[in-house]
Amino acid sequence: MPAPAHRPVVRDVVFVEGVRTPFGKARPDGLYAATRADDLAVKTVRELLRRRPELPAERIDEVAIAATTQSGDQGLTLGRSVAVLAGLPKSVPGFAIDRMCAGAMTAVTTTASAIGFGQQDVTLAGGVEHMGHHPMGFDADPNPRFVSEKLVDSTALVMGATAENLHDRFPHLTKERADAYGVASQAKYAAAVAAGQISPDLVPIAVRSDAGWGLATADELARPGTSMADIANLKTPFRPGGRITAGNASPLTDGASMCLLAAGDVVDELGLPARMRLVSFAYAGVDPEIMGYGPIPSTERALANAGLTIDDIGLFEINEAFAVQVLTFLDHFGLSDDDSRVNRYGGAIAVGHPLASSGVRLMTQLARQFEENPDVRYGLTTMCVGLGMGGTVVWENPHHADYSGHTTTHASTTTEN
């Protein structure tokens, strides 16, 4: 009997394509009030296959889909159930994953690890969060020992309270700076929409309301034209006289995202585009009561894993759960509040943060910015995570002259919907 053919143990992992739904308000009158969460994820899978007809569906080795609340229309092993609902061959397996806000990011790094280790060739990874159907913490039952045995501070289980704690820890990061950051996020997002930099990555979604059927083609949450005066006196729901408001925090959001990953040699074989190459990733834990600090140690680890420094990073996509969390990151690494490399399209304060799906939004936006900026070699996506964690992924730009990946297909993937 001949010896089995072995795949190489270490391979390039390429981000081929990413899409997301328009993000909607998590309210009874929001875009997706009458839409199932799993159907949002199904639409993103179908759109990826539509955009990449050169990929035979049977070549997909895994579907990993994250959700923070895995019940109801976000339950039933999402990866597998969405694969079946999307019409993938029954031979394609799938699983669900939860790392709270970094769910989709973890779906990417988990399946990318399998690709890099040579056990899989092509995967779909993403996340969905219907916060209108499943409010944050819905049906959760935190063990009372967390607080009674002082394993965490009593504020650790309320994300807005952890953001207030960051303001306490770093008093020079004032409410005024956080408000200014929030206003800037709205302005950058509005400019990106006007420039046509957001819509190419959106999947139109048929939606139903009391008025009948419609088509969601744009994000619902942004507040263009927001000024400092507009948000100066908003309520501080997490603390009387606090600093966290709706003007400097991400809104409650419904939405889904999905991406296609493949080994570098498979990208060449099938003629797929290489939009980014995964260089390194890391997750780290911090005190849960300062949850927003997590991206700092995770970024330090990811950079060390890659043999890079913060100065090597030309583009940053940082999830804006709260403005103070981003400011803490910028302050630690010596970056200015308005650094032009950071969140060029705006961020979650403007577009929304459907928890487990946001990681792939960050990646998809970074991929598009790589195409626009071939002079930038490295970028990163990073986010804070509930219960005191951070996650960071470092990416390389295939359009850069010194690109070190082994793939040869560097075609642009701008797609008309």
Residues labelled catalytic: 101, 353, 384
Strands (E), 270-388: 276-285, 313-318, 378-385
Least Cα distance to 282 among 102, 404, 157 occurs for: 102
Retrieve residue 18's tokens.
């990413």
Q: How far apart are CA 14 and CA 140, in angstroms?
A: 36
CA 125 centroid distance within chain: 11
Give whole-number Cα distances, 77 to 82, 119, 288, in Å.
Answer: 8, 21, 28
Give yes or no for a contact between 317 and 379, defined as CB atoms under 8 angstroms apart: yes
Pairing of strands 389-396, 62-66: unpaired
Burial of 98 (0-12, 13-18, 19+ CB in 10 A): middle
> Got the DSSP string for 136-186?
TTTT----THHHHTTSS-TTTT-HHHHHHHHHHH-TTS-HHHHHHHHHHHH
Retrieve residue 91's tokens.
């031979």
Q: What share of the chain is helix, strand, coil (3-state, %, to 5)?
A: 35, 20, 45
The residues facing 318 across adjacent strands are: 382
Least Cα distance to 38 among 126, 135, 136 occurs for: 126
